[in-house]
Chain A
Amino acid sequence: MLGGMGEVVRPDRESQWLKGVLDLAVLAVLAREGSAYGYSLLRSLADAGLPGLRGGTVYPLLGRLEDDGLVQSEWTVADGAPARRYFALTPAGRQVLAEGRDGWSSFADRMTRALEV
């Protein structure tokens, strides 16, 4: 797998990085799109450069975000189709996203400097 700067990144290392920030990526998708259901959220994450995520990873994460009050969900029913749960950001989620975005920028800058040879 190729990383952003062209180096080969071990998949297990990248998945470790992702574990720490996937919640922010999910919050950011919801901030951009207003609301999304599970599958559309996975597609948006793939479009944003995070392909290959599975439902078994994203739904428990959404559950934890909802427990923490950062997202809220609502069921919608369409004829002949299973009920879908749409997720949307709460004000608390918007605040955590803003803080997380700042924190990530700062961390990424410091890490980039730390990795300079």
Chain B
Amino acid sequence: MEGMRPVDGMRVDVLEYCRVLASQLRLAGLPESRVRVVVQDVLAHVEATGEDPVEAFGQPTDYAAQWARPPGVLRVLGLMVATAVAFPGFWLVFTAFTSPAPWAGAVPVTPFLVSMVVGTAVAGAVQPWTVGLWLERRAGRRVGRGRSPLDAVVAALTWAVLIVLTLVVVQRVLKPDGDGRTLFSVPRRVLLAVGLGGMALSFVLPSPGVQTMPRSPADHRSWWARVRSLLAGTGNRRRF
């Protein structure tokens, strides 16, 4: 399938195309080094020919499928579980730093903390890897056709339903009534280590909706040189 063509007279921005394409390739599990090459080929081709990227390559979802199979059920479930483990890391680190317990002592785990961790895990993992993934694949078939208002409505409604459901379940099951009960205690360093591990994992996991431009494969600068370039305000210039 070639996918939807752009609206007549509407030229697709090649950088937007490449960002959406990169997102589709990452979700399919293509290594980042390969993502860079595929995207750079598109950029160089469009620059050389002046062609519309959708005309030359098809919609990003369809072109990405030529490089890697779309994510299957097992991959999506695995990523959902990994996100559920990683996402609450922020809460754990926050709690480890702000708990009033002595620094060398154990941090009391309250029903409130458990609620927040469970709620964050469920909401942070379920929405992106169900409706979020569907919306992302839909966006990858609509480049050049403008954003659909329906997508924004679906995303907002899903989040609202998920948050309300999570709050209801947490209230019914854990009853975090703020009475200061301690379910159990965890050494602060353990909480911090688990939280930092989760945060690190969440940075490397792909996520639907995150559309960042990959680095050029011809850019052989060290990571430090790239950071300096970013700080100097030249990091986002095209180095393709």
Complex contacts, A38 vs chain B, CB 8 Å: 41, 44-45, 48
Within 8 A of B (CB), among A17-75: 37-39, 54-56, 59-60, 63, 75
Query: Which of B40, B47, B67, B217 interacts with A60 by CB under 8 Å?
Result: B67
**Residues A83 and B217 in contact, CB atoms below 8 Å apart:** yes
Known: A38-B41, A39-B45, A83-B40. A60 touches B240 (CB 8 A): no
Query: Which of A39, A56, A59, A76 interacts with B49 by CB under 8 Å?
Result: A39
Please measure, in the bound complex, the distance between the C-alpha atom of A46 and the C-alpha atom of B35, giving whole angstroms: 28
**Residues B57 and A56 in contact, CB atoms below 8 Å apart:** yes
Q: How many residues of B contact A (CB 8 A)?
A: 24
**B42 CB-CB contact with A under 8 Å:** yes
Q: How many residues of A contact B (CB 8 A)?
A: 17
The main secondary structure of chain A at its interface with chain B is mixed
Please measure, in the bound complex, the distance between the C-alpha atom of A51 and the C-alpha atom of B45, giving whole angstroms: 16
Query: Which of B44, B49, B63 interacts with A85 by CB under 8 Å?
Result: B44
Complex contacts, B67 vs chain A, CB 8 Å: 60, 63
Please measure, in the bound complex, the distance between the C-alpha atom of A59 and the C-alpha atom of B40, giving whole angstroms: 11
Please measure, in the bound complex, the distance between the C-alpha atom of A39 and the C-alpha atom of B45, giving whole angstroms: 6
CB distance from B237 to the nearest CB of A (A): 11
5 closest Cβ pairs, A-B complex: A83-B218, A56-B57, A82-B240, A75-B218, A39-B48
A-B contact pairs, 25 of them (CB 8 A): A39-B48, A55-B45, A55-B49, A55-B56, A56-B63, A56-B66, A59-B38, A59-B57, A63-B37, A63-B67, A75-B40, A75-B217, A76-B218, A77-B218, A81-B47, A82-B44, A82-B47, A82-B216, A82-B240, A83-B44, A83-B216, A84-B48, A85-B37, A85-B40, A85-B41
